[in-house]
Each structure stands twice: as structure tokens, then as C-alpha cells.
């Protein structure tokens, strides 16, 4: 039997989406730092504007450098296309705005990034879009929350910050039974560890700022279309199946088939909302993606070493890592994430808020900041930072305690990281029990 | 738009403009297990440049009812009935891959009904590798993988889509995955059984354009050039570095070749 020798993941990480620059032969992806593109004649220009030709018009809508990044992520995720955005939040907003109108409803995992929670809870209701949160570990809760006006099921591959593993195949089956697509935020895993389209997702987004870039120098997001969802058969998405006056009555589903969503997201979403990625940021992010599989393997290796250290440390009351026997999603993680559960996880320090404060302030290698997925190791206290807008009930629902600390394990020598954690934990323990020590 | 052929619901994309049989018309015909959407750029372009356009879904494909016809000759006969159902006496016929065989056959069978002929990735015969046919008959995804592998040039397998942000491998695979079980196998079997391209070519009366991919592994360029020589009034265009999937790999060059052929005098 002959084999289809198509390029594999590591090769695609380096090459997908790019042919050597036809003008100069440049091997690296050039930064096309331009706002606009010269049209050879008026008919050509009109054809571009009317989606009769392929090409670039204006960098808010597309750009050659950004297009390489988009195509590369689409290739790594196994989708049909992608749209790069100014940030991960812009990608989430673009997905929502492309799919639904006022009066629609979203069913979301309760354990999501605080910024996504803000959008769903405090901002989208102003535009008439409501969200119901459900336990990501409970597929039946997703099913029960779906209403006639539901237009999206949303979750994260690994919940934030508790690393709940969604049973994506089961939840996708439920959503598809209701003729609704599933959007997965795959930021924490990256396609190097998990490809949601292989497990039933229809759309994927990333904060590219995190592992895709890996260097912490550029903000960006990306929204990927799996091309799997049948919008026509669903009958619930007129933005994709009915004529759109904004493009001379174009019907995206009819004309673009599996690429209907991504074409509408670009043609309307970037044109009208304009949250596009800059070509310079696309260039930075491409540099990161080139080494994604190598970095993710090392991230996972280091995270496993550190989890083993923390899990046996008397100053730590709990470690939330899906590969531990104590984690409720261990079996699911083994099935869905055999390459590893990323490098972002949380643990609880005994001694409460004061011990947590001392621990974070005594760390030397771990940087205290609001980001994850950097090559450098990071630390944050979610209750006082990323998730501070959530009330006590929402915090409890998301599994966030006052002593919870979130680590993003980087690529440093793991012995150095463990030594840093060890000295900070000792300081935290002394702070938690000063009188006893005296 | 929907219309009826043989009493069955049939779909054709019209390029974003209403179909008017009083205007010059182009019928676009897709390849095995594909649908109308492969033609979205030329369909929109010619619909906005004076033509009425119908990018049909063959029976059992896309949004059309019915069973896939078993032979290219049956598909060509169906295309003739579709043309009549659309109220057209004559039309430009354009086909890609298996679709090129269908329009070649249709133009040979009914020269008076063919205004011009455009063949993308054609061949006088279209043998299909046994492993591909076997996989398609089992509805094994390996058939789709092999079509992707052989359908795109080596360079295009890496990407560089001219439509920003689109990934050719993924787009082509999803389209094939949408076909019902057995549709791909039926199309490939029809292609494998087709052998009379040269005889049909000699019977073509319409002015003909062949668009060939220099790196086409499924219908090699040399075979396309030989076919062009057999057609009395034919010219051919070779797309440098392009594989079999020229509508995705070289959308603008493909469109420009069709424009040069159709727009100056055909209207």
C-alpha cells in the first residue's frame, strides 16, 4: 500500500504557509510592513474587493506576513484556515460576533480564563448575548444548559486555573446533537500536545501570546476554522447561510463550503471590527511557532519534575496536575493528552493568603506577572489578579482558593527552578507560623 | 440556486448573481467527490463580468439529490439535461479533473451546444492507482490522504495559499470528507474506466483551452499537451510549479487564463 507522505507536524511548524519570498529569495518570512497593496488596474481592484480574486487589499484585513502565521497555525491544528487577531480576546470576540446576534446564548465551561469570563459575564449581556456556565467535568450539564437560542459551546482544553480536562469527544457529540458548534481555547496545550479538531471541536482559538510565541514579546490571537461544522444543515447560523448585504448578497456557506466561517470572520470581522494582528507581531510569533514542538516537550518535562517536587513537599497542601493520581481527570488526561498536560498548573500553599504572598515575593527565577506560556518561568496569584473580577461564588465554582498559586513552568534547568521553589516555600512556611518557630 | 434534473433537486452556485438564461452562460463541473465550491472565485468573477454562471453539483454530490452516475458518459448526458433544464441552448463548458472528462464527453456528444470548452487538469485517460481505488471503496480516509498527496504539488503541500489564511491540505480534505460514503469510489471508478479521450478530442468542434499544472502528479502535463494536440482548435496554458489542484494552488493564474480565453470576444 502506498503512503501519503504529507509533511508532518515538526516540519509544518517550520515551513507551513511559506514559500521563499518570490521577490528576494529570503528564507525567513519577511515582514511586509505595509498598510496597503498596489492594484494593477481598476478591474483587478474591483475583483479583489468582491472576493473574485485571491490577494491582499489592506493590512487590517490581510497581510502576507500575517497570512503565513495564520496558515501555519491552521496547518498545525489541522483546520481549513485561520484568522490572526490583535489578541486572544479579540479572537474570542471575533468568533462570537461571526456566529451570533442579540438574543443568542452561549454554554461555557465555568473554568475559563478570567478575561473570557469578563467578556461573557459583564460585556456580552450589553449586546443581548447571555452565557450559562457549567462544570467542565459534567457533560450532562452542558446538555441541560443548551437552549433553543444557544449558538455556541465553549471551553478550554485545560481549565483555568484548575486544569479540568474537558471530555471533548462527549461534549462535542452533545453540541452536535443540538446542531451547535464547539469552540475550544487551546492556549494551554497548543497543537503540539492536543489538536481539538481530532476530538470533535469545530473551532479553535489561541492566545498566541502564550506558548505559540513562547518569548513574551508580542500580543496576538488566532481563530482557526476546522471546516467540519455543517452550517447549512444546522439552520441556526444565518450569518453563514443567508445572503449578506455587506458583500453584495454573498452566501458564505454556499460559496466557500468548508471555509465559510473563516471567510466570514475575515471579510466582515476584520473589515468592520478591525482587531487585526500587526505584521511585526506576526513575524515575532512565527519565530516562536518554528520551535513549538521542541519547546512544548521541554515545558512538559520540566513541569513533571516540578510537580513531583511539589507533590511531596510538606508546605504544599494540594497540586492540581491531571497526571497525578489525585487529580479527578487523570484517566481522561491519559486518553486525550498522552503527550502531556502542558506546563501551567496550580497548587495551594498551606498557610493561606500571607504564606502565598511571601512565597511569590521570595521567588527569584520565577517572575511574578500576568502571563503564561513564556520560555521563562512565571508565577501569579489568580484570586488577586487574573480572576479578581469574579465574586466568591464564581471563584469557588472555578476552583480558585485564596492560597492558590499558578505556575507557568519555563525552559530553565529544572534543578534551578526546584531550588528556587524550595527556598521560597521554606520562607512561606516560616511566615505562616512565626510564633511556633520562635 | 435549485432546479430539477430528472425530477431530482439539483444545486448550482451562481457566483452571487441571479442566473439569467438570456445571457451567455458558463457551466462549471467539479471533480470526483468535490462540489461547486471549488469554483467560487471564477464563478463570482464571471458572474460579475457579463456571464450567467452555474457551478453545478453532480447528482449525489454537494447539495444535489440522486446517486452518482457510474460512468463519465452518463455524467455527460446528465450535464446535457441540466443545461436544458437551465433553459440554455449553448454554454461554455468548464471542468476540472473528472469534470474535465465530463465536459470533454459532453462537447463531443453535442458540438452545437458547446460554445467554448475549458479543461483543467485533463487527460485522455485517467488511470487510478489500485491502492487509492481500494481505499476509496472501503471509505478509508487513506484515499483522501492520497488524493491530497498526489493532488497538490510538493511545494503546495507546504502551503502559501493565495487566499490569505487558508490551508490547502485542510480545505481539500474537508471537502472530500463531506461526500457521502461511496461517492469518491464511484467517481474514481468512472475515471479509471474512461479511456476514449483521444477519440472524443478529435470530435471537439468548440474552441478549447486546456489549463495544465507543470507538477501535476494525477494528470501529468505531458498527457494534457498530447490531448491538446488531438483537439482541432485548442490551446493550452501551463501553470509553473502547479499540481493538479490549480483552482486552489494558482487561483489567480487559472482565472486569468480563463479570462483571456472568454472575456475578449465571447460575450
* Model pLDDT for residues B30-75, shown as the tens digit of each residue: 999 999 999 999 999 999 999 999 999 999 999 999 999 999 999 9
Split into its structural domains, chain B has a count of 1
**Whether residue A31 is found in the same domain as residue A178:** yes
Reduce the secondary structure of A64-125 to three states and give it as a string.
HHHHHHHHHHHHHHCCCEEEEECCHHHHHHHHHHHHCCCCCEEEEECCCCHHHHHHHHHHHH
In this predicted structure, which of A123-127, A358-362, B212-216 has the lowest mean pLDDT?
A: A358-362
Q: Which residue of A has its CA nearest to B62?
A: A257
Question: Residue B258 belongs to what domain range?
Answer: 2-126+194-262
Q: Which residue of A has its CA nearest to B164?
A: A67
Split into its structural domains, chain A has a count of 2
The answer to whether the Cβ–Cβ distance between A17 and B171 falls below 8 Å is: no
Q: Residue B7 is part of a domain; what is its CATH number?
A: 3.40.50.1820
Residue B232 lies in a domain: yes
**Whether residue A336 is found in the same domain as residue A270:** no
Who has greater pLDDT, A396 or A281? Answer: A281
Give dist(CA A396, CA B6) in Å, integer. Answer: 63
Q: Which of A391, A318, A397, A319 is nearest to A136 (CA)?
A: A397
B170 in contact with A, Cβ within 8 Å: yes
Spatial contact of A49 and A43, defined as CB atoms under 8 Å apart: no
**Whether residue A281 is found in the same domain as residue A297:** no
Using DSSP bridges, classify how beta strands A378-380 and A404-408 pair: parallel, antiparallel or unpaired. antiparallel
Model confidence band, residue B266 (pLDDT cutoffs 50, 70, 90): very low
**Whether residue A51 is found in the same domain as residue A123:** yes
Q: Which residues in chain A are contacts of B41 at CB distance < 8 A?
A: 51-54
The answer to whether the Cβ–Cβ distance between B178 and A257 falls below 8 Å is: yes
Give dist(CA A240, CA A142) in Å, integer. Answer: 24
Residue B16 lies in a domain: yes
Q: Which residues in chain A are contacts of B165 at CB distance < 8 A?
A: 62, 67, 70-71, 74, 81-84, 262, 266
**Whether residue A52 is found in the same domain as residue A80:** yes
Residue A281 lies in a domain: yes
> How large is the ipTM?
0.96
Q: Which residues in chain B are contacts of A259 at CB distance < 8 A?
A: 166, 171
The answer to whether the Cβ–Cβ distance between A80 and B178 falls below 8 Å is: no
Question: Residue A44 belongs to what domain range?
Answer: 9-289
DSSP code string of A200-255: T-SEEEEETTTTTT-SS----EEEEE-S---HHHH---HHHHS-BGGGTTB-HHHH
Q: Residue A297 is part of a domain; what is its CATH number?
A: 3.90.1150.10
Instruction: Write the CB contacts of B185 (distance below 8 Å, at least 6 apart in sequence).
Output: B133, B136, B137, B139, B143
| Inter-chain contacts counted by CB atoms under 8 A, chains A and B | 155
pLDDT confidence of residue A184: 98
* Residue with the three cell numbers 503565513: A68
The average pLDDT across B133-155 equals: 97
Please give the mean pLDDT across all residues of chain A. 94
B167 in contact with A, Cβ within 8 Å: yes
The answer to whether the Cβ–Cβ distance between B149 and A15 falls below 8 Å is: no
**pLDDT of B86 above 90:** yes
Amino acid at each position: 500500500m502506498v503512503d501519503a507522505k504529507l509533511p508532518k507536524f515538526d516540519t509544518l511548524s517550520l515551513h507551513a504557509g511559506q514559500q521563499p519570498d518570490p521577490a528576494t529569495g529570503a528564507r525567513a518570512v519577511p515582514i511586509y510592513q505595509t498598510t496597503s497593496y498596489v492594484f494593477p488596474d481598476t478591474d483587478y481592484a474591483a475583483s479583489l474587493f468582491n472576493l473574485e480574486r485571491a490577494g491582499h487589499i489592506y493590512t487590517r484585513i490581510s497581510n502576507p506576513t500575517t497570512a503565513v502565521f495564520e496558515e501555519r497555525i491552521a496547518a498545525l491544528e489541522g483546520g481549513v484556515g485561520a484568522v490572526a487577531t490583535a489578541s486572544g480576546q479579540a479572537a474570542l470576540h471575533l468568533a462570537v460576533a461571526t456566529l451570533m446576534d442579540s438574543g443568542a446564548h452561549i454554554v461555557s465551561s465555568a473554568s475559563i480564563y478570567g478575561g473570557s469570563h469578563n467578556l461573557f459575564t459583564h460585556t456580552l449581556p450589553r449586546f443581548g448575548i447571555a452565557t450559562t456556565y457549567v462544570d467542565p467535568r459534567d457533560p450532562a450539564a452542558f446538555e441541560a444548559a443548551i437552549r433553543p437560542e444557544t449558538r455556541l459551546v465553549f471551553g478550554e482544553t485545560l481549565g483555568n486555573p484548575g486544569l479540568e480536562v474537558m471530555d471533548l469527544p462527549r461534549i462535542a457529540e452533545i453540541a452536535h446533537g443540538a446542531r451547535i458548534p464547539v469552540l475550544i481555547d487551546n492556549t494551554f496545550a497548543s497543537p503540539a500536545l492536543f489538536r481539538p479538531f481530532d476530538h470533535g471541536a469545530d473551532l479553535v482559538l489561541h492566545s498566541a501570546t502564550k506558548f505559540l510565541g513562547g518569548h513574551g514579546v508580542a500580543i496576538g490571537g488566532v481563530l482557526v476554522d476546522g471546516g467540519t461544522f455543517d452550517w447549512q444543515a444546522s439552520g441556526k447560523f444565518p450569518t453563514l447561510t443567508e445572503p449578506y448585504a455587506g458583500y453584495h448578497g454573498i452566501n458564505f456557506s454556499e460559496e466557500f463550503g468548508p471555509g465559510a466561517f473563516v471567510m466570514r470572520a475575515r471579510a466582515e470581522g476584520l473589515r468592520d471590527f478591525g482587531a487585526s494582528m500587526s505584521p511585526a507581531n506576526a513575524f515575532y510569533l512565527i519565530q516562536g511557532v518554528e520551535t513549538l514542538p521542541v519547546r512544548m516537550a521541554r515545558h512538559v518535562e520540566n513541569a513533571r519534575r516540578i510537580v513531583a517536587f511539589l507533590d511531596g513537599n510538606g508546605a504544599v497542601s494540594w497540586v492540581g496536575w491531571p497526571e497525578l493520581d489525585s487529580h479527578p481527570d487523570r484517566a481522561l488526561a491519559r486518553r486525550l493528552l498522552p503527550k502531556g498536560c502542558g506546563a501551567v498548573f496550580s497548587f495551594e500553599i498551606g498557610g493561606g493568603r500571607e504564606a502565598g504572598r511571601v512565597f511569590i515575593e521570595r521567588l527569584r527565577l520565577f517572575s511574578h506577572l500576568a502571563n503564561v506560556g513564556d520560555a521563562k518561568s512565571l508565577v501569579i496569584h489568580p484570586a488577586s489578579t487574573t480572576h479578581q473580577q469574579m465574586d466568591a461564588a464564581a471563584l469557588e465554582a472555578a476552583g480558585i482558593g485564596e492560597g492558590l498559586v499558578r505556575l507557568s513552568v519555563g525552559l530553565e534547568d529544572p534543578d534551578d527552578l526546584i531550588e528556587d521553589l524550595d527556598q521560597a516555600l521554606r520562607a512561606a512556611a516560616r511566615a505562616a507560623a512565626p510564633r511556633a518557630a520562635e | 440556486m435549485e432546479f430539477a434534473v430528472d425530477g431530482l433537486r439539483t444545486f448550482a452556485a451562481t457566483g452571487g448573481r441571479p442566473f439569467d438564461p438570456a445571457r451567455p452562460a458558463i457551466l462549471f463541473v467539479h471533480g470526483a467527490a468535490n462540489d461547486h465550491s471549488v469554483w467560487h472565485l471564477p464563478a463570482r468573477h464571471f458572474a460579475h463580468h457579463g456571464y450567467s454562471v452555474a457551478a453545478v453539483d453532480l447528482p449525489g454530490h454537494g447539495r444535489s439529490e440522486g446517486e452518482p452516475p457510474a460512468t463519465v458518459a452518463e455524467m455527460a448526458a446528465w450535464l446535457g439535461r441540466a443545461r436544458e433544464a437551465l433553459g440554455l441552448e449553448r454554454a461554455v463548458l468548464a471542468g476540472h479533473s473528472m469534470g474535465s472528462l465530463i465536459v470533454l464527453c459532453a462537447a463531443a456528444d453535442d458540438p452545437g451546444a458547446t460554445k467554448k470548452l475549458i479543461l483543467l487538469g485533463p487527460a485522455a485517460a485517467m488511470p487510478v492507482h489500485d491502492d487509492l481505488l481500494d481505499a476509496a471503496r472501503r471509505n478509508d480516509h487513506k484515499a483522501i490522504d492520497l488524493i491530497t498527496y498526489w493532488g497538490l504539488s510538493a511545494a503546495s503541500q507546504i502551503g502559501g495559499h493565495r487566499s490569505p489564511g487558508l490551508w490547502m491540505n485542510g480545505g481539500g480534505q474537508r471537502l472530500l470528507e463531506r461526500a457521502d460514503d461511496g461517492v469518491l469510489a464511484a467517481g474514481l471508478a468512472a475515471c479509471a474506466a474512461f479511456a476514449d479521450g483521444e477519440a472524443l478530442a478529435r470530435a471537439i468542434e468548440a474552441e478549447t483551452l486546456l489549463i495544465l499544472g507543470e507538477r501535476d502528479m494525477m494528470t501529468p502535463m505531458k498527457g494534457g499537451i498530447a490531448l491538446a494536440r488531438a483537439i482541432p482548435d485548442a490551446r493550452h496554458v501551463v501553470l509553473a510549479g502547479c499540481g493538479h489542484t490549480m483552482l486552489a494552488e494558482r487561483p489567480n493564474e487559472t482565472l486569468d487564463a480563463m479570462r483571456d480565453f472568454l472575456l475578449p470576444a465571447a460575450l
